[in-house]
A and B are shown apart, each in its own frame.
Chain A
Amino acid sequence: QVQLQESGPGLVKPSQTLSLTCTVSGGSISSRAYYWSWIRQHPGKGLEWIGYIYHSGSTYYNPSLKNRLTISVDTSKNQFSLKLTSVTAADTAVYYCAREEIYRHRFDPWGQGTLVTVSS
């Protein structure tokens, strides 16, 4: 069964770059049936879709973040990554990675999530 695990710093300074990696186990990130996605949840708030990447490297980003966002994939390591530049306190959130089915865009499964705090 596929499992996802986020990793990366839990604390980032304002104006710096937030970098996270999601490691996929139990399945191949090169599967043609799935995108690989990032979703975040601000403290006490709802879910916000950040963007996805296909194993080929094609991406789709949330328009509200696209100017600061890069999602990349490393098929040799079965990992995909998120970089968000010029962060502010408003980027403080729990960041989840998830597998996204390509036709109906359901997210399953999800990683456990990692809290990233933006603070000096």
Chain B
Amino acid sequence: SYVLTQPPSVSGAPGQTARITCGGNNIGSKSVHWYQQKPGQAPVLVVYDDSDRPSGIPERFSGSNSGNTATLTISRVEAGDEADYYCQVWDGSNDRGVFGGGTKLTVL
């Protein structure tokens, strides 16, 4: 089955740029979605279809996807961005949704 690999943790100082990667075999051929989950809350979609933002999500959140790696980039990191972030794709070969293991973003 299709596997998505994320680093367990990423950190960044306020005002800096944080990048969270999501690795998968030829992931560039798939649509990648990113979710933010704060403690005790449900996940929230922050980027969809590789690089689109739902309404209400700040422009500081952006995404890219090519080859074997998709990346969520958070510019000008704020304390309120501290959360777990999950990437997700649809595994069409096995007809199932697949999530990465999640990355905890710590704002220093």
Contact = CB atoms under 8 A, between A and B. Distances in A.
B61 interface: no
Which 6 pairs, one residue from A and one from B, show the smallest C-beta to C-beta distance?
Answer: A49-B97, A105-B90, A108-B45, A110-B42, A47-B99, A104-B31
B80 interface: no
A112 B42 contact: yes
Contact of A107 (B35, B49, B101): B35
Interface of A: 37, 39, 46-49, 60, 62-63, 96, 100, 104-113
B100 interface: yes
Contacts, number: 60
Nearest to A110: B42
A46 B100 contact: yes
B45 A107 contact: yes
The secondary-structure label for the interface of chain B is strand
5 contacts: A46-B101, A47-B43, A63-B94, A63-B96, A104-B49
A46 B42 contact: no
Contacts of A106: 31, 33, 45, 48-49, 88
Nearest to A35: B97
A107 to B, nearest CB: 7
Nearest to A100: B97
B100 to A, nearest CB: 7
Nearest to B31: A104
Contacts of A49: 96-99
